[in-house]
Amino acid sequence: MYDKNNIFAKILRGEISCKKVYEDKFVLAFEDINPQTKIHVLVIPKGEYVNMDDFSKNAKSIEIEGLIRGIGIVSAMLGVDKTGYRYLGNNGIDAGQEVPHLHFHIFGGEKIGKMINK
Ligand code: AMP
């Protein structure tokens, strides 16, 4: 069940500010408040989806396309399409998902290292 009071929902409603990188009909992208790499941006769909399970089952095709294209647009805007980047999504408890609104992390701007640290 989607929690309308999660922090990204508040950002989408403009109740909390963010450092916006990009916005269109389907996505909002903004800088992560606690960056893990030189470039760390979050790309979120505008629709109310908890995570990838929810999104993959319930989003309209146009929303799925919009999110994937949005990640590409943002990566190009950040310039990491040239240098490489990691796009990552945490889904649920074992992945340590903190915010229950679907989001992709874009990490880049430097060598990132190992894919998984336990
Ligand atoms: P996850 O663990 O995948 O749910 O990641 C949540 C991310 O949201 C973390 O990297 C946080 O630093 C980031 N975050 C939490 N609150 C904010 C906020 N108000 N603005 C930007 N990023 C945030």
Q: What is the pTM of this model?
A: 0.97
Cα dihedral sign, 73-41-3-23: negative
pLDDT tens for residues 76-90?
Answer: 999 999 999 999 999
Say if residue 10's pLDDT is above 90.
Answer: yes
Q: What is the pLDDT of residue 117?
A: 83
Q: Taking the domains of the chain in order of start, what are their residue ranges?
A: 7-83+94-108
Q: Of the residues 17, 28, 33, 44, which should be mutated to test ligand 1's pocket, given the most ligand atoms within 8 Å of the CB? A: 33
Model confidence band, residue 118 (pLDDT cutoffs 50, 70, 90): confident
CA of 33 to the centre of ligand 1 (A): 6
Question: Does residue 95 line the site of ligand 1, with CB under 6 A?
Answer: no
pLDDT band at 115 (very low <50, low <70, confident <90, very high): confident
117 lines ligand 1 (CB under 6 A): no
Average pLDDT of the segment spanning 105-118: 92
DSSP assignment of 65-111: HHHHHHHHHHHHHHTHHHH-EEEE---STTTT--SSS--EEEEESS-
Look at residue 114 and tell me whether its pLDDT is greater than 90: no
Ligand 1 centroid – CA 49 distance (Å) = 16
Q: Report CA 20 to chain centroid distance, whole Å.
A: 12
Asked whether 18 lines ligand 1 (CB < 6 A), one says yes
62-74 confidence digits (pLDDT tens):
999 999 999 999 9
- Is 101 labeled as catalytic in the residue annotation? no
Convert the pLDDT of each residue in 12-57 to its tens digit: 999 999 999 999 999 999 999 999 999 999 999 999 999 999 999 9
For domain 7-83+94-108, give the CATH number. Answer: 3.30.428.10
